[in-house]
Amino acid sequence: MEKLSITKKIMIYALSPIMVLLLGVFIQSEVRATSSTNYTIDPDNSGNSGGEDSSSAGYEIENQQVGDLAIGESDSANFNILHGYLYGDEGDVFIDFTVIPEKRLPAVGNNSTLAIIEVRNVGETTAINTYPAVATNNDGEYSNLQLTGIPPGVYDVVVKGYAHLKKMLPAQSLAEGTNILDFTLVGADPLLCGDVYTGVTTPDGDNQVNSLDATYLVSHWGENDGGVSDERADVDENHQVNSLDMTKLINNYGINGD
């Protein structure tokens, strides 16, 4: 590997990190992600977008084409590079979203829920971050939820209702600022109900409608008005736990969420 001369190194150190980044982008048309305040740059083959790393005890360089998605993250005291874009500071991402639970009684103005939002890397099932207990209004809407820890990029975004299966919006492009998400197509594709059982290992449900849910609903059978001890069991939110709730649960029996 060709080493830089002392003179060249001094010249590089004399430049600010921002200038070094700009030279890497505009002269070689590549994004160089490095995590160090003192580093040198080894030459590499132009056009390399394989994500190969060049590293030593003092620095690490990842070579990517400008515009490549999800190339990783590089931090120093002076700059960030996230997902192939240059940032002085990481941009804040917010969402305004709508989610309509199915089969509520009454059907209008009765769409509130405690939603759980998950953000996942595209195609993965494990959440990067989770945002619990987001209380939507009676129209199923929530505004200005900040996705802390999530930089702008492309993600799968998932919602789960209080007693409902998860629903995913795949490959959503989330920009800095406010993003509008409609999980249920203005109510045409509502959240499926019936995931009411909670346990020690599944405090928010197991994302399935099965015998555990049916048994849990029966344990609250006959509760009504102010006497409903767990709102999850009142699937249709009409302040009674009865055959209407069980019918709705049975309609989705055996279904798994996203």
Same domain, 133 and 169: yes
Residue 85 has what pLDDT?
41
Place of tokens 């490549």: 68
Which among 87, 108, 132 is the end of a domain? 87
What is the Cα gyration radius of the chain? 25
Residue 25 located in a structural domain:
yes
Question: Which domain covers residue 16, as residue numbers?
Answer: 6-87
Same domain, 106 and 60: no
Residue 229 has what pLDDT?
80
Residue 108 has what pLDDT?
85
Same domain, 117 and 81: no
Same domain, 47 and 102: no
Residue 97 has what pLDDT?
98
Contacts of residue 200, Cβ cutoff 8 Å, sequence gap at least 6: none
* Average pLDDT along the chain, 258 residues, taken 10 residues at a time: 49 45 39 47 45 44 47 49 44 96 89 96 96 95 96 97 96 97 94 93 93 96 83 90 95 97
With 0.75 as the threshold, say if the pTM is over it. Answer: no
Residue 225 has what pLDDT?
77
What is the rounded CA–CA span in Å between residue 91 and residue 176? 5
Residue 228 has what pLDDT?
80
Instruction: State the total domains in the chain.
Output: 2
